[in-house]
Each structure stands twice: as C-alpha cells, then as structure tokens.
Structure 1
Amino acid sequence: MDTPTAGLSFTSKLLPTATQIAQVRNCSRAGILPVPASDLHAIVVEAPEELTRYDAEITKLQNGLDRLVLERTMLASYADGCRSVLAPVQRLPNELLADIFEWSFPEELYVLESTPEEEVDRISQWHLRQLAQVCCRWYSIAMATPKLWSTIAVDTSLWSDCNISIQTLLTLLDYSLTQGQNHPLTLDVGISNMYRCTDLVVEALTKHAHRWRDVFIWSDGEPHRYLANATGSLDRLEMLEINLSSNKSWNELEFFYQAPRLTEFSFAGRLENMPKIPWHQITKCSYHSDSHPPPPYQRLSVLLLANKVDTFTLELDLRNFPLDHDWHSYTSSMRHIEFELSTNDPRVFDKLLDSLTLPSLESFSLAPLSDYDPPAWSSNRFVSLASRSQFGESLTCLCVHAMIAHTELVRCLQAVPRLEKLVLADCVWIDDDAMIVITHELLQLLTYTANSSCLLPRLSTLHMTSLLEFTDASFLDLVASRMRKTRIDGLASFETKLLCYPERQRDMSPETLQQLAQMVASGALKLTVLSEAIDTET
C-alpha cells in the first residue's frame, strides 16, 4: 500500500518555471503569441493527462490521510480506555463508590428558596441520573443502591409552576421513593394547603412512613389530616423538625407521639400549636420564634415538657417584652442550653435568668438572633444563677456574644472557676458602634501565673472573635502561659482560635505571627487565626 509520504515526491515534467508563468501572463495581457508557440500547444495537449495523474495521486494521499485520522482516533480512544481501566477509581469497591456518590449530592437537593426547575431536578433525582450516564457500572450502582435514593426533598408550592405535569411529578416522586426500597428515609418537605397536589404528595410520602428517620416539615396549613393515615408506622423516626408558618394547630396530632426512637425535636411556631410528641424520650430540643410569639414566660413552659432534654436551644425575641410581667420558675436537669435572643434591655434577660435553676448544666451559650444586634447582659443575675445552680462545680463551657462590659464579664467568669472552654465575641452592630469585650485587661486576667490566682485556671480552649483591642504582647503572654499550664496538667495542647472582624483598626504584627508559629511547632499549641489580612491555619 502506498503511503502518503511516498506521494510527496510525485511531480510532473510539465510544471512551469516562474519565468514561463510570467511570459504567458504578459502575452495574455498584450494579446500576442510567443515565439515559438509550439511549446504552448504541447502543454495544452499533454496537461489533461497530467492533471488526471495529479487527481489520482491526490485521491491516494487523501485516502492515506483519512486512514491516519481514523487510526489516530482509534488509538486515542483505546488509550483513554486503557487509562480508564487502570484508573484507581475502577478498583474501588461498589460500596465505597456509592459512598462517594452520596457525598456528591448537590446543595439544592434540599428545599430552601428554590425554583421550579430545581424542584423538577430534585423529584427526578437528576444528580443520580447524571452519574448513571458515565458507564454501565456507575449506572448499576446509581440505580441499585437504595441509600442513594433515601433523601427526598419536595416543595408542593412549586409544582404548579413546573414545566411538567403534576401527574408526571407524582410518577417521578413515586419512582424515587420505590428505588430507596427499605433504606431509612430523610425527608425535607414543604407542604402548602393552597395547592391541589398536596393531598397526593403527602399520601405518597406516608406510604413510606415506616422508613422515615430524619424529617423536616414546613407547612402553612393542616396536612396532619393526611399524616394521621400512617399512625403507628414511625418505628425508625429519630429526628423531627417542624416549622408552622401559619396559625393552623397541630396540637391534636398524635402521629409523632408513637415514635419509640425519636430523640431530637425542633419546632418553630406557636407553642399551643405544637403536635404531641414523646417528651419523655427527647434528649435534644430546639424551640424557635414565629411571627406572633406568645409571651416569653409562657414559651419557657416547654421546659416543663422537656424534662429529659439534655441539650436545649431557645430562640426568643424579647425586644418588646413588658418588664411588669411575672415569670414562672423552672428547674431543669439539662446539661447544655443555648439562648438566641434579641433584647437591648439587660433587665429583660435578668428576668429570664431569675426564672431558671439548672443544677446539672455543663454548657451555657448566649448569642443574638440571626440578623439582630447582640443581646444586652449584666452580671448580677448570672452570678445569682451560677450560685443557685452550683455552676462553680458543673459548668465547663461558656459561649458569650452579648453586649456586656469586660468588667461585668470578669464577674461572671469568677463564678465559674471550673470552666475549660470559653468562647467570646466583641460586639459590632448596624450603626458601626461597638462594645469591646475582649480587652488587654481581660487577657491579662486570663494569663496563668503559678504564684497567684488567675481567671479560669482549668481553661484549655479559648475562641475569640475580636476587634483586636488588645496588645500582641498580652495575647502572646496568655498563650505561652496556658501552654505551660497544659504541660503541667499533662494535657496534649492548648487550643485557641482568633477570628478578626474586618472593622478592626489593626493587624497582628508579622513578628507576633512568627512567634505563634514557633509555639505551634513545639506541639503544645493548636492555633487558628483568620481574618481578611490573615489567613493562616496551622
């Protein structure tokens, strides 16, 4: 077979020189015959045969080039196939590959301000269908692994705006539910009574109630009349979160009460609309504000229900709370409590603390509601609560993001000498004003000195969000002293995190950062420093 390179030597004796081409061009322009003209006649006669030879050679070369292109394509595809066969991912067990598929789920899988297009993708599990198109093995894993189909997110308020029919959406939903077989199910469901598809969606979900494990429900109506159809099926339910955005009452619903494994419960809405749940087995609870909250002292009555709760989060808007209201007293054996508050009057928070006795508390957290200024706080009532509840013996973790003078904070810290973890934040709010909690003086008091008393001698973890209104030297002294203390106590290391607000007026010096890096290298310090100018995690 001739090769394309062999054809490169092909030529013709009739090929003109540059002089001959110029001569013919000039004669054509002048309208004269060259002398002798016989040479031109010979070219005219012999050229067709030579052109035929050229055509044959060009065809031969073109066929050779086509063959080369085809062979190159085949070789490239074969090399890719070999590379794929040798790739480490091919040697992963199906179970591990399924785990990787599970971790690749998109964030928009969950219902949160999503679009009709995202709703269609969620219902059809489009992310799994994309994985299934890679190869036969991936198809088999994606389609035959129930746990990959065990998260269902649906928002019925979007269905009427989707570009496919409600019946098609129901078919896709049923297929996704069926593919999960008997694997425990996670549900993220937005249910609106304004749409005719709600009954059908809830009916489809309750057919699989025996698989429910983690359930998130947002509702503006009364879908409990459909949920009740699955009463007695919730043997696997462990976590339940309900958000009622209307005044519809679920308080007669006993559907969730018969859930023997339910231990974690979160509720947003009016307390009187809360469904019946097995409070005697709830160990973790969150109660969040709604648009028309009852008086805070009534809301605290959830503590009477949550008599077995270990960890409790309470979100309260106290900005308009009248001071002349009486609060009931509550005693609880919970070990962890977190307040998310909005109030600018410390007297209101005082009333809240006065109503509590927490003799087993190990962790106390105070933070602002989302998008609100930090709450105001004075030390007197906390010190009283600490004394009444014996925090001096039990409390080991304190998290404070509140408007409190550093001198008041010191009084609070003196009441909890067994504290091991302290989380503090300076306060910056909308009008660009600030309250400095983390000061040079506070760090000096926290610096451990063996020959004298200091604040929190057991402290092993300190996290701060700061405007850096302290000196580098005071921070270095604190860290160095605590490193020495951890060695004395036989602990692995002292841990500190420093997040710097963008509004700060200075940065730590390079020399300070270098000294901190050297401390980290010694192994006795675990340090994280984060800010706009500093992005170091050692």
Structure 2
Amino acid sequence: MAPKLLARSTECFDCGKDHPPRAPLIPSPFKSIITQKSMPTSSETASIHDFTAAIDAEILRREQAIDRLRCEVAVLHRLSDQHKSIIAPIRRVPSELMAEIFLHLTTIEASSANDTSSSSLANFFEKNDEVRPVLHRAPLIFGEVSRQWRTIALSTPTLWNSIFITCTNEKLRNYISLCDTWLKRSGSLPLSIRIHLAPSEAVPQHVTKDCQDLLRTILPYAQRWRLVDFVNVPDYSYHILHGCLPKSLPVLQALSVGHTLPADASCMFWAELRNAPKLRFLHHHNVGEEWLTFPWSQLTHIDLGNCSEYDCLRILSAASAAVDCTFSVERPSSFQHPPITHYSLKTLRISQSHADLHLRLTCPRLSTLAVSSACSRFSFHDLPSFIARSGPNIENFTLEGSTLTATQFMTCLAYMPKIRHLTISELGAAQFTDEVWKSLTCRPSFTPLVPDLESLQFLGGRDFHHEAVIRMLESRVQMPHGPASFVPKLKTVHLSFWPKIKKSVCRRLTAFRFFGLDIDVQTNVGSDDEGDSDDEEIDSEDEESNWDDEESDWDDSEVSDCGDDWDHEESDWEDES
C-alpha cells in the first residue's frame, strides 16, 4: 500500500511535477506595501531587511537539505545497482561462454580495421590477427567493467595471442611495455605479431633504438611466432636478431618484411631461417644471393621485391609447391636461367621496373596472370608465347603499361579462351583499337574473343572510336530485339578514358545500366559542341533523340539506336569495315 504522502501528491504549479504538498512558508507581513506599491517608512524598511535575512537563512537551510538528500539518493542508487547486479542474468552466464563472447567481440572489432599488408598474406590471417591495443576497445575494455570480467579476460589466452601495432615513429615507445604485457597473457598459444610504422624518408636514431627494443621484447617468444608482419621497420633494427633467433621456429607459417629504410640494406638475418617446417608464406622487400639456401620447396605463397629475371626463375624452379607468386623485377639479370615448367602455380603477378623481361616459363595450371610495368621502355618479349604455353586455364588477366601491339594483344586473348575478368591499363602503347573491340563483339555466326567475359576494367582510349565500345556492350547485354535465348555474361564494366569525349557518348555508355549492366564511366567529359579527340563521326541529333530519354520506358522508338535487329547487325559491321 502506497504511503498517504504519495497518495496526496498533486501537480505543482511551479515545476509541473507531482510531489507531496509543500510545507507552509513564512507569511509576509508587508503584503499591503507590496500590493499598494507605496514607499515604506524607515521602521518598515528595517523590518523588511530583517524579514529578507530570515528568508535567506531559510533558503540556505533548505539548499543544504537538498544537497544532503541528493547525496542520500546517490548512495541509494549505488546500493540498488549493487543488489540488482547480484541477480542480473549476465552473472548466470558461465565463464567459458563469456570468454567466447569476448573473443567474438574482439574479432568483430579487429575485422572492422581491415588493414592488410598483402592480399596474399590475408590467406594466412586468423579471425583475430588484426587486434589493435587501443584503450577502451576490445579486449582491454573487458577489464574495465568488473573484477569478474577482468579475471575472465586475463585467463583467456586467445584474446592476447595476436597484436597489431600501427603507429607513427614517435609513438612507438609507448607500445613496448604494452606489447610485453600483452604477450605474457597469451599463455603458450602461437603468436601473430604485426608492426606497421608510418612511412618516412629518413629514420632518426631514436626510432631505430625503439624498434630494437620492441624486437628485443618479442624475441623471447620466437618459438611461438605463427605470423610475423613488419612494415617500415628500419633494416638496421634487425641486427639484434643476428645470432639470437632460435635454430627452429616450429609454428611459423607466414613471414612478411616490407617497405624498410634504407632501401639498399639487406636483411640476411631472415635468410638464415633454415628450420621452419610450417612456413608457407614469404614476403620480403629485398632478395639477394644470401637467400640461395632458403627452404623454397615448402612455400606456397611467395611475394618478393628487388628481384632479377634470373632470381624469379631460380626461385620458381626450387619452389615446386608454390601456387601464388608475386615478383617485383627491379634488377637486370647477370645470368640466363634455362626454361622451366611449373605444374603447381595458379597465380602469377609480375611488376617490372627494368626495361626488358624474358620469362622462360610454362605454367599449365595458371588461372591468374597480372603483368604491370613502371618503365616506359618495358618489353615483355615472349608474353604471347608464354600465354600460348600457359593460357588455356587463365580466368583473370591484368595488363598494365605493356608495349604489346593490338595484334599481339588479340593473339594473347585468343590463347586465353576462359577469361572472365579482364583489366587493361594503356599507359604506353594502345592495346585496344577498333579491331580489338570488334573481335570482342558477339555477332551471328561469329565466336568472339573471351566469350565468358564477366567484368572489364579499362584505362586508356586513344586509338579507337567510342561507337566500337558501344557496339561491343550492346552485343553482350540483353537488348530489345535481341534473341530471347541470349544469356548475358558481362556484369561489370569500369571505363576510364584519357581523352575528352562528348556528353552524349557518356550518356549512351551509362544508359546500359537500364539493361542490367553495372557500368561506371570516368572520363574527361566535354560539351556536345566540342569534337571528340578521335574525331568520332556521330550524328548528334540522332543521339539526342535516341538517348536523352534514357530514364523513360525503353520502347522500340527509344532504343532504335542501340537495339537494332540482330539480323542486320552483321551487315552493319560489313559496311563499316
């Protein structure tokens, strides 16, 4: 039963809240003076001073009472929360289940960072390999909630066997003691240690010392290293590893060392690894002669920089189990390696900054090939012959900055009939011409190149007319008046044109979205009265009448330019040729 005081609660005129009636206040003996607004006499003035002093004293007394009541309310709130927490459902959750919840929350927070140093290295990540030591974030935040949660977190080694330190050089010192504490909580589990420093043109001496101290901190745990990923750690810091690495690293699966300064330094200490039976991934920025006796035969993923053509073939001849290889060819070869055949390789990426490349290699199972160059004089002399030997199963092909002619390029495509994803960047010679676009166009009684093409990414566009691109796209999407049995395979197209084109051409390209094609066009778009850079002859009036209403329903009159009957398309091509 509610107390009578609460039953008599009424709405207050001043605050609008319901509370018990107020205690009677001191009545004013000067109401007549207040209502009549007359000037008080000297004796009345003295009495008013005494009355206001009494009121102020009463105000002070009641404010002190309010403060006392607020303190009592705060104490009561704490007492209530303490007793509610005793019977809270979370206290009935078993510690093992709480530890699993902590692990999942940590994994979710780590995956949101999504910061990987290498796409190949991602294959060796576990679900919590990107955990960053940040205050008020998982897993450190679990120890801030209650003593019980802290005990559970500290007794769960899985929360602490991975650490990802990413910071500037100046803040590295703050992480040394934290890293030591972190790894001590990992029990006997295999460790994932990732250290990414901010890039800099010069490395101060104190930064090198901080890196050495950090390496000394993690060195005692070397036999439990599972994944080691260092970025921008100065080469000179690795000297403390000389003679200190254990003879065996029994659980090491992935080693990544990249983007270090100075660039010409050589980390031969990593090349001294001889007994790491589980090592499968290696990424290193600089490979020299000291790596000759490295256990290449057990590696499945290789990513190496500062190689020569001879190094690539020598390593591939030894790495018989490799399935994914990336080479940055930056040095000329002093020797010529004999041709080899690699039966396991499925992915090959070659980045070339040297002028010439003669890759005497055959890969029958190759499914992904990427060739790029930062050298304007780059020449991959035997690329067509390499693709002829290795191209039947290639599904992903990337070519950037090549000097291949359009004829050579079509020859390469003809040797890769299973291509589904094609990426071309014309940084030097032009691979795409009108003839190439025509060879990719589906026409009656004609089998185009790469018939299974699903995505196309293209950068360039100096040596062809845009009408050829439009015709190719028309033939690979489900257009009006097209065969009902036609099943389109092309789904995604990303076009980036160097020259300026008409707005009407851009509209015609983006209009393919209405036929289900995910197309993105980035270009130097000019006004319609500006000529195209390739002097394309397009009737502007016909374009406007056919394509300006692209947002309306696509009936026969609105797609007359892009939905011609397929029976007439072959004759159009004959007339054009």
TM-score of the pair, normalised by structure 1: 0.67
8 Å CA contact 1:399–1:423 kept in 2: the answer is yes
Structure 1 residue 311, shift from structure 2 partner: 1.5
Structure 1 residue 182, shift from structure 2 partner: 2.3
When residues 200 and 419 of structure 1 are mapped into structure 2, their CA distance, relative to the original with a 3 A threshold, is closer
8 Å CA contact 2:302–2:325 kept in 1: the answer is yes
For 2:327, the aligned partner's letter is L
For 2:282, the aligned partner's letter is F
Q: Does 1:331 align with 2:341?
A: yes
Q: Does 1:178 align with 2:178?
A: no
| Whole-angstrom distance in 1 between the partners of 2:351 and 2:451 | 28
For 1:250, the aligned partner's letter is M
8 Å CA contact 2:242–2:269 kept in 1: the answer is no
Q: What secondary structure, in the 3-state scheme, does the structure 2 residue paired with 1:208 have?
A: helix
Q: Does 1:250 align with 2:268?
A: yes
8 Å CA contact 1:125–1:176 kept in 2: the answer is no
When residues 533 and 100 of structure 1 are mapped into structure 2, their CA distance, relative to the original with a 3 A threshold, is farther
Q: Which of 131, 139, 159 is the equivalent residue of 1:148? A: 159
Q: Which residue of 2 aligns with 1:384?
A: 385
| Whole-angstrom distance in 1 between the partners of 2:418 and 2:186 | 49
8 Å CA contact 1:265–1:284 kept in 2: the answer is yes
| Whole-angstrom distance in 2 between the partners of 1:141 and 1:503 | 62
For 1:145, the aligned partner's letter is T
Q: Which of 310, 334, 340 is the equivalent residue of 2:323? A: 310
8 Å CA contact 2:442–2:472 kept in 1: the answer is no
Q: What secondary structure, in the 3-state scheme, does the structure 1 residue paired with 2:256 have?
A: strand
8 Å CA contact 1:184–1:212 kept in 2: the answer is yes
| Whole-angstrom distance in 2 between the partners of 1:413 and 1:108 | 35
Q: Which residue of 2 aligns with 1:34?
A: none
Structure 1 residue 420, shift from structure 2 partner: 3.0
8 Å CA contact 1:443–1:478 kept in 2: the answer is no
Q: Map 1:96-495 to 2 at 5 A.
A: 96-105=101-110, 126=135, 131-132=141-142, 134-136=144-146, 139-140=150-151, 142-152=153-163, 171-188=177-194, 202=215, 204-217=217-230, 219-220=235-236, 221-228=238-245, 230-232=246-248, 234-243=249-258, 245=263, 247-248=265-266, 250=268, 254=272, 256-274=273-291, 276-289=293-306, 296-317=309-330, 321=332, 328-333=338-343, 334-343=345-354, 348-349=356-357, 352-353=358-359, 355-368=360-373, 372=374, 376-377=378-379, 381-387=382-388, 389=389, 391=391, 393-403=392-402, 404-427=404-427, 436-438=430-432, 441-465=435-459, 470-471=466-467, 473-474=470-471, 476-480=473-477, 494-495=490-491
| Whole-angstrom distance in 2 between the partners of 1:8 and 1:109 | 69
For 1:179, the aligned partner's letter is R
Deviates more, 1:238-247 or 1:302-311: 238-247
When residues 423 and 98 of structure 1 are mapped into structure 2, their CA distance, relative to the original with a 3 A threshold, is same
Structure 1 residue 199, shift from structure 2 partner: 7.2
When residues 514 and 297 of structure 1 are mapped into structure 2, their CA distance, relative to the original with a 3 A threshold, is same
When residues 189 and 480 of structure 1 are mapped into structure 2, their CA distance, relative to the original with a 3 A threshold, is closer
Q: What secondary structure, in the 3-state scheme, does the structure 1 residue paired with 2:52 have?
A: helix
For 1:185, the aligned partner's letter is L
| Whole-angstrom distance in 1 between the partners of 2:211 and 2:226 | 21
For 1:459, the aligned partner's letter is L
Q: What secondary structure, in the 3-state scheme, does the structure 1 residue paired with 2:310 have?
A: helix
Q: Map 1:16-35 to 2 at 5 A.
A: 16-17=33-34, 20=37, 24=39
| Whole-angstrom distance in 2 between the partners of 1:138 and 1:499 | 53
Structure 1 residue 124, shift from structure 2 partner: 7.0
For 1:40, the aligned partner's letter is T
Structure 1 residue 204, shift from structure 2 partner: 4.4
When residues 529 and 252 of structure 1 are mapped into structure 2, their CA distance, relative to the original with a 3 A threshold, is closer
Structure 1 residue 59, shift from structure 2 partner: 3.8
Structure 1 residue 439, shift from structure 2 partner: 5.2
Structure 1 residue 185, shift from structure 2 partner: 1.0
Structure 1 residue 477, shift from structure 2 partner: 0.9
| Whole-angstrom distance in 1 between the partners of 2:510 and 2:74 | 56
Q: What secondary structure, in the 3-state scheme, does the structure 1 residue paired with 2:416 have?
A: coil
Structure 1 residue 419, shift from structure 2 partner: 2.5
8 Å CA contact 1:449–1:481 kept in 2: the answer is no
Q: Which residue of 2 aligns with 1:12?
A: 28
8 Å CA contact 1:467–1:505 kept in 2: the answer is no
For 1:272, the aligned partner's letter is E
CA RMSD of aligned residues (A): 5.2
Structure 1 residue 339, shift from structure 2 partner: 0.5
How far does the alpha carbon of each residue in 1:157-193 deviate from its partner, in whole angstroms, 9 at most, with x for none? 969x9777xxxx7654432211111222112359999
Structure 1 residue 315, shift from structure 2 partner: 0.4
When residues 163 and 455 of structure 1 are mapped into structure 2, their CA distance, relative to the original with a 3 A threshold, is closer
Q: Which residue of 1 aligns with 2:63?
A: 62
Structure 1 residue 489, shift from structure 2 partner: 9.6
How far does the alpha carbon of each residue in 1:413-438 deviate from its partner, in whole angstroms, 9 at most, with x for none? 122223233222333xxxxxx75545
Where structure 2 has 5 or more consecutive residues not aligned to the other structure, the ranges are: 16-21, 118-130, 198-202, 526-577
Q: Does 1:50 align with 2:63?
A: no
Q: What secondary structure, in the 3-state scheme, does the structure 2 residue paired with 1:301 have?
A: helix
Q: What secondary structure, in the 3-state scheme, does the structure 2 residue paired with 1:473 have?
A: helix
8 Å CA contact 2:395–2:421 kept in 1: the answer is yes
Structure 1 residue 309, shift from structure 2 partner: 1.4
When residues 197 and 20 of structure 1 are mapped into structure 2, their CA distance, relative to the original with a 3 A threshold, is closer
Percent of matched pairs sharing the same residue: 16
Q: Which of 501, 514, 519 is the equivalent residue of 2:515? A: 519
When residues 139 and 175 of structure 1 are mapped into structure 2, their CA distance, relative to the original with a 3 A threshold, is same
Structure 1 residue 282, shift from structure 2 partner: 1.1
Q: Which residue of 2 aligns with 1:500?
A: 496
| Whole-angstrom distance in 1 between the partners of 2:151 and 2:521 | 44
For 1:418, the aligned partner's letter is K
When residues 400 and 109 of structure 1 are mapped into structure 2, their CA distance, relative to the original with a 3 A threshold, is closer
